Structure 1
Amino acid sequence: MANKSGKRRRFGAVRKLPSGRWQARYPGPDGLMRPADRTFESKADAEVWLSQTEADLTRGDWQDPDAGAVNFETYARQWVVERGLRPTTAELYRRLLRLHLVPFFGTLDVDEITAPRVRTWRTERLAETDAPTTVAKAYRLLKAILETAVDDELIRRNPCRIKGAGQEKAPERPVATVEQVYAIADAMGPRWRLMVLLGAFATLRPEELAELRRGDVDLDAGTLRISLASPELTTGRRVTGEPKSTAGKRTLILPAFIHTDLKRHIEWFAEKETDGLLFVGEKGAPFRRSTFGRKWRKARAKVGLPEGFRFYDLRHTGNTLAADTGAKLKDLMVRMGQSSVRAALIYQHSSLTHQRELADSIDARVRAQRAREGQEPAAKRSGTDLARDA
């Protein structure tokens, strides 16, 4: 088709439709003529669009308008399969898809998910669920899936662009006192007492406790080796494999006060085989979350711990205790089995009591050093001591 100057266009063609609007058509990389994704009010507008499309093709920025015509639900479920995720993570993602993403986006193609639609979805989820932490998880999943769609050249830009929408602001988890830990350990009974103590004072995860075996224990050295984990899925099936992170493989030195409980438990309750499980139920089977959960809730109520206090919060209790003893960040990371500095930093807060203990320790060390150098009598009382007497 010729343009206004009478010369034939060297790229694409425009024509006037019976409706009075103008259509633009252009040859794609495969040589096939493709119509523009919209019509235009004037011939000039159609020609400008053709020029822009030609430039995109020349720069390699052109994207097949039909590439994103892939159903979101199909794409998302395949995305989960292809990630090679841990079973518990894959289960979480499938649940987030089923409950939060597919009901809203499931019938759409990937390229039909726009920024306004994402904002609307998030607003509705926050209002309907009153669960901002879960919505943040679902948003992060949606963003990750669509980021892969960008890499696959199904869409040009990720529509998930809400600042801070993927950040979780979970409330501070409760911390039990040492007295409360022992109270609930007693309430759980002899078979599960050690599990409570290890959850708190060795900061072991439930899935790590489930896979502890006789061979992982060195009674003489007072150590535990963590090399495997058996998380339980919602179906009740346990999936044994590597710990949550590479740092999860570790050897822990146990506080001496646990040694007696450890020896008694191995003698009374652990499987008798050399590589037998440390924790099994009354009938000899590996413990189940459902059965254990019922015992936990009864024991929790008996000792007066809040209803929201989970077994996993024992780990939070132990990590806080370790941090309050002055443990360095790296020490915390090793003990927690965490490769993330961010996770360990949660416990690096400082109470006034801990600040006083640190100040006293610094005071004592400095005075001892100066006394050795003959600059100050070692017996001189610290400013902290004087303040306490005031």
Structure 2
Amino acid sequence: MSKRRFGRVRKLPSGRFQARYPGPDGVDRTAPHTFPTKKEAEIWLTKKEAELLAGDWLNPDLGKVSFKEYGAAWIDERPGLRPKTVQLYEDLLRIHLVPTFGNCAMSEIKVANIRRWRKQLLDNGVEPVTVAKAYRLLKAIFNTAVEDGLIKSNPCTIKKAGKEESPERPVLTMKQVFTLAGAIEPRFRMLILLATFASLRWGELAALQRKNLDPKAGTIRVVGTTTELKDGSVTIGPPKSEAGKRIVSIPATLLPDLREHLETYAEKGEHGHVFVGPKGARLRRADFTRAWAAALKKAKLSGFHFHDLRHTGNTFAAQSGATLRDLMTRMGHSSTRAALIYQHTAMERDRAIADALGKLAEEALKPEEPEPEEQDPDGSGT
């Protein structure tokens, strides 16, 4: 019997066959499983030799690191992440990923494992948006594992599993916006109006300082945003992207109210915050949430979130005829995806207007029915 040129195959007492080969690192390595026939063991060795010759060989020891260990290191090795993002990733890892994959070796996690994990989360009532975020994090971790040479390919291959499909949020009417602004504590009235008519996010409003306002020109310079962490700390940093740094115009009709707000409620000095809490401290969501809930009840509105004000303002802007680029600039987005949603909404509204105009035109173009001939009193006609 001729000796194999690469690797060795031997029959075990159990009757199965074991394959061994010399790794490029000088270590004699054993196949991760045994084979029912000698031929199958030899085929495996042939494939392993081809990997070595092509430079595709991976050290199997690297893939033995646990997902829990590798996932935690993955977060730690990204120093540029915002505190809020770190907090989100740690929560997703701890609550939704580690319980299932924590003790598994990275190389052991396969497509079927991930498919079952995802279905189990959804079956257990976890919000689809949260599941999508957890899946995206899982996929990102495995992408890095591929780059690090732990595994050959990413097992996260479920189509659209990382796509967030949030339900469509409601849009307030113009009257509802001003009703809500009138129902909330006076110190928060301008917060409601600027969130709507300047398309500002909560964090951008909470970080807004006097020096960022130009009441004469009617503009706001957005340069920062606040982040509240679970430990109660609040940080102020730049917007998520360069597009988030922008100058937004304020409707002229709101400027008198803005000046009054600055005189009455804002902190003094150019670095003073425009919006503060009831006791003059830094504005926090917890303080505002109570006022928001009371205002919704007073205004007889329900089911609205604060972010719906920005959504409403973006919709108003689209309906006013803003272009795609106008919307992207005002919203502080670098991609067209979100702006296209509002432009689509405006087009739907424009179509409704066009259809209504068409009906009016159809009515106007209908041929007039001939008037009945007048009859003489004696019935002889005209």
TM over 0.5, yes or no? yes
Return 5+ residue gaps in structure 1 as ranges.
Answer: 361-381
Matches within 5 A, 1:272-287: 272-287=268-283
- 8 Å contact kept, 2:315–2:346: no
| Structure 2 residue 11 is matched with structure 1 residue 30 | no
Q: Which residue of 2 aligns with 1:318?
A: 313
For residue 234 of structure 2, give the secondary structure of its aligned residue in structure 1. coil
Q: Is the alpha carbon distance of 1:38 and 1:384 closer, same or farther for their aligned partners in structure 2, counting shifts above 3 Å?
A: closer
Q: Give the aligned residue type for 1:153.
A: G
| Structure 2 residue 247 is matched with structure 1 residue 251 | yes
User: Cα RMSD (Å) of the superposition?
Assistant: 2.0
For residue 317 of structure 1, give the secondary structure of its aligned residue in structure 2. helix
1:387 is displaced (CA, Å) by 4.6
Q: Which residue of 2 aligns with 1:371?
A: none
Q: Which residue of 2 aligns with 1:220?
A: 216
1:324 is displaced (CA, Å) by 0.5
1:195 is displaced (CA, Å) by 0.5
| Structure 2 residue 276 is matched with structure 1 residue 304 | no
1:117 is displaced (CA, Å) by 0.7
- 8 Å contact kept, 1:229–1:243: yes
Q: Which residue of 2 aligns with 1:58?
A: 53
1:140 is displaced (CA, Å) by 1.3
Q: Give the aligned residue type for 1:311.
A: F
The partner residue of 1:150 within 146, 154, 159 is: 146
| Structure 2 residue 79 is matched with structure 1 residue 68 | no
1:268 is displaced (CA, Å) by 0.7
Q: Which residue of 2 aligns with 1:141?
A: 137
1:304 is displaced (CA, Å) by 1.7
CA distance in 2, matches of 1:50, 1:98: 39
Q: Is the alpha carbon distance of 1:352 and 1:102 closer, same or farther for their aligned partners in structure 2, counting shifts above 3 Å?
A: closer
CA distance in 2, matches of 1:386, 1:21: 85
Matches within 5 A, 1:251-270: 251-270=247-266
Q: Give the aligned residue type for 2:138.
A: L
- 8 Å contact kept, 1:206–1:231: no
Aligned length: 363
Matches within 5 A, 1:139-218: 139-218=135-214
Q: Is the alpha carbon distance of 1:388 and 1:260 closer, same or farther for their aligned partners in structure 2, counting shifts above 3 Å?
A: farther
- 8 Å contact kept, 1:228–1:241: yes
Q: Which residue of 1 aligns with 2:104?
A: 108
The partner residue of 2:113 within 114, 117, 141 is: 117
Q: Percent identity?
A: 52
CA distance in 1, matches of 2:252, 2:110: 59
CA distance in 2, matches of 1:218, 1:45: 77
Q: Which residue of 2 aligns with 1:239?
A: 235
CA distance in 2, matches of 1:223, 1:326: 20
Deviates more, 1:323-332 or 1:231-240: 231-240
Q: Which residue of 2 aligns with 1:78?
A: 73
Cα deviation, 1:171-229, whole Å, max 9, x if unaligned, reads 10011111111111111121110001000111100000011111111111111111111
Cα deviation, 1:304-338, whole Å, max 9, x if unaligned, reads 222x3111110000000000111000000010011
CA distance in 2, matches of 1:62, 1:312: 50
The partner residue of 1:97 within 80, 93, 100 is: 93
CA distance in 1, matches of 2:224, 2:182: 28
The partner residue of 1:88 within 80, 84, 99 is: 84
| Structure 2 residue 310 is matched with structure 1 residue 334 | no
Q: Give the aligned residue type for 1:82.
A: E
- 8 Å contact kept, 1:236–1:288: no
For residue 280 of structure 2, give the secondary structure of its aligned residue in structure 1. coil
Q: Which residue of 2 aligns with 1:344?
A: 339
Task: Tell me the TM-score normalized by structure 2.
Answer: 0.90
- 8 Å contact kept, 2:110–2:155: yes
For residue 346 of structure 2, give the secondary structure of its aligned residue in structure 1. coil
Q: Is the alpha carbon distance of 1:155 and 1:336 closer, same or farther for their aligned partners in structure 2, counting shifts above 3 Å?
A: same
1:299 is displaced (CA, Å) by 0.8
Cα deviation, 1:119-160, whole Å, max 9, x if unaligned, reads 110111001025212111111111111111111111111111
CA distance in 1, matches of 2:298, 2:74: 45
Q: Give the aligned residue type for 1:181.
A: V
The partner residue of 2:350 within 349, 354, 363 is: 354
CA distance in 1, matches of 2:12, 2:353: 84
Q: Which residue of 1 aligns with 2:34?
A: 39
- 8 Å contact kept, 2:265–2:276: yes
Deviates more, 1:326-335 or 1:165-174: 165-174
For residue 68 of structure 1, give the secondary structure of its aligned residue in structure 2. helix
Task: Tell me the TM-score normalized by structure 1.
Answer: 0.88
| Structure 2 residue 288 is matched with structure 1 residue 292 | yes
